[in-house]
């Protein structure tokens, strides 16, 4: 029998263990062979070395999640600790980790559909990932791009988005062109900042190893030896999608992400995302992954909001 003390550092222990130790009781259920006692910001864990090691790895993932999001929804707790349907294998291999990010962050697929996206990128040079907000489409795609760059499978990462947002216009934003565009591209910067040290990221951006630009800037380019992501593709017209897809060069991986329920194109301009998927689905080398509310890893209320809106839309369609 081995005993180990594990300190909850950098976050409020209540956020991890839950009010009145509600989360701790769930955690104990996943590891019934361990004796786990909480005292303030310290856990005393007794059991076999193998069980303790497996517990510590998953428990520190919980702490990392709270450190990053300042919350721990039940869905994330179940996913990290093993889920309601049974425990994960003891001593889970680190092969599942896509990127070891900053501050000990381990970036990996958190849901079955996110894992399908990871697998699809391994098997195809072009992948469409479609799903609602918060399902990890962009974050997983960026992690795969960073992984490919670190493993030297590609020479550069190119990230792009249509410069279209609800009710706004670039001309009315302050600053020069870059300052006008940066708010549209900020989610891509945010993901990269999680996965690459700040100094190294600045170097990559300065050297052009990582390029972030609006979709219009892709015209005329040939993207060789690159991992390329078109994010928010629902805000691209069909000609724009065609233009982007035909930029594909040698040894390139293209991932196209979008949420077809949040199209911000001006009236009478249809999104080109679903028509493109319809034309290209089934072509060898092109994968399509669909995510849904079950893949949401943000606050649990995001899932409820998506379900409520979907039900509202279905009622309106019937009326």
pLDDT number for residue 163: 77
* Cβ-proximal residues to 172 (8 Å cutoff; 6+ apart), any chain: none
So what's the pLDDT on residue 166?
A: 42
Separation between Cα atoms, residue 102 and residue 96, nearest integer Å: 17
pLDDT in tens, 93-103: 556 889 887 76
Contact criterion met (CB below 8 Å) for 59 and 34 = no
Render 94-158 in DSSP notation, one character per residue. GGGEEEE-GGG-EEE--SHHHHHHHHHHHH-SEEEEE--TTSSHHHHHHHHHHHHHHTTS-SEEE
pTM of the model: 0.70
Give percent of the chain with pLDDT exceeding 70.
86
CATH number of 106-318: 3.40.50.300
Query: Of the candidates 254, 188, 255, 200, which has an alpha carbon nearest to the alpha carbon of residue 224?
Result: 254
CATH, domain 2-92, list 3.90.1640.30, 3.60.21.10, 3.40.50.300, 3.30.1370.10: 3.30.1370.10
DSSP 267: T
**Which of 33-42, 188-197, 278-287, 301-310 has the least mean pLDDT?**
301-310
pLDDT score at 38: 93
Please indicate whether the domains covering 2-92 and 106-318 agree at the CATH topology level. Answer: no
- Residues 178-211 have pLDDT tens digits of 566 677 778 888 889 989 988 999 999 999 999 9
Give the torsion sign (CA, 306, 309, 315, 319).
Answer: negative
Contact indicator for 188, 142 with CB cutoff of 8 Å: yes
Q: Residue 56 is inside which H or E element, if any?
A: helix 49-69
pLDDT at 180: 61
C-alpha–C-alpha distance, residues 129 and 138, integer Å: 9
Report d(CA 195, CA 108) in Å as an integer.
Answer: 11
C-alpha span between 249 and 226 (Å, rounded): 8
Does the pLDDT of residue 172 top 60, yes or no? no
Q: 170 in helix, strand or coil?
A: helix
Going by C-beta distance under 8 Å and a sequence separation of 6 or more, which residues neighbour residue 10?
A: 63, 67
Q: Hey, where are the domains in the chain?
A: 2-92, 106-318
pLDDT at position 169 over 80:
no
Of residues 257 and 312, more confidently modeled: 257
Half-sphere exposure of 166 (CA within 13 A, CB side): 5
């Amino acid at each position: 029998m081995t005993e180990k003390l594990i300190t909850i550092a950098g976050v409020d222990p209540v956020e991890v263990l839950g009010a009145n130790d509600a989360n701790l009781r769930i955690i104990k259920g996943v590891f019934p062979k361990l004796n786990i006692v909480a005292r303030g910001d310290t856990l005393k864990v007794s059991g076999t070395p193998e069980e303790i090691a497996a517990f510590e790895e998953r428990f520190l993932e919980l702490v990392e999640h709270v450190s990053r999001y300042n919350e721990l929804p039940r869905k994330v707790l179940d996913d990290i600790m093993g889920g309601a349907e049974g425990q994960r294998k003891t001593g889970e291999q680190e092969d599942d980790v896509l990127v070891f990010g900053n501050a000990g962050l381990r970036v990996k697929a958190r849901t079955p559909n996110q894992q399908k996206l990871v697998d699809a990128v391994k098997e195809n040079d072009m992948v469409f990932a479609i799903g609602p907000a918060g399902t990890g489409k962009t974050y997983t795609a960026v992690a795969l791009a960073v992984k490919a760059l670190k493993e030297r499978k590609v020479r550069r990462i190119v990230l792009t988005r249509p410069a279209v947002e609800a009710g706004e216009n670039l001309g009315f934003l302050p600053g020069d062109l870059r300052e006008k565009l940066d708010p549209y591209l900020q989610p891509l910067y945010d993901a990269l900042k999680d996965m690459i040290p700040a100094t190294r990221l600045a170097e990559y951006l300065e050297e052009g190893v990582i390029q972030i630009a609006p979709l219009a800037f892709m015209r005329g380019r040939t993207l060789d030896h690159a991992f390329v992501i078109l994010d928010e593709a629902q805000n691209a017209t069909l000609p724009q999608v065609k233009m982007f897809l035909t930029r594909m060069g040698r040894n390139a991986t293209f991932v196209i992400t979008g949420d077809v329920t949040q199209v911000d194109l001006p009236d009478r301009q249809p999104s080109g995302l679903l028509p493109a998927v319809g034309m290209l689905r089934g072509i060898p080398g092109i994968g399509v992954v669909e995510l849904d509310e079950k893949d949401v890893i943000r606050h649990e209320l995001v899932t409820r909001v998506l379900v409520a809106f979907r039900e509202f839309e279905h009622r309106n369609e019937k009326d």
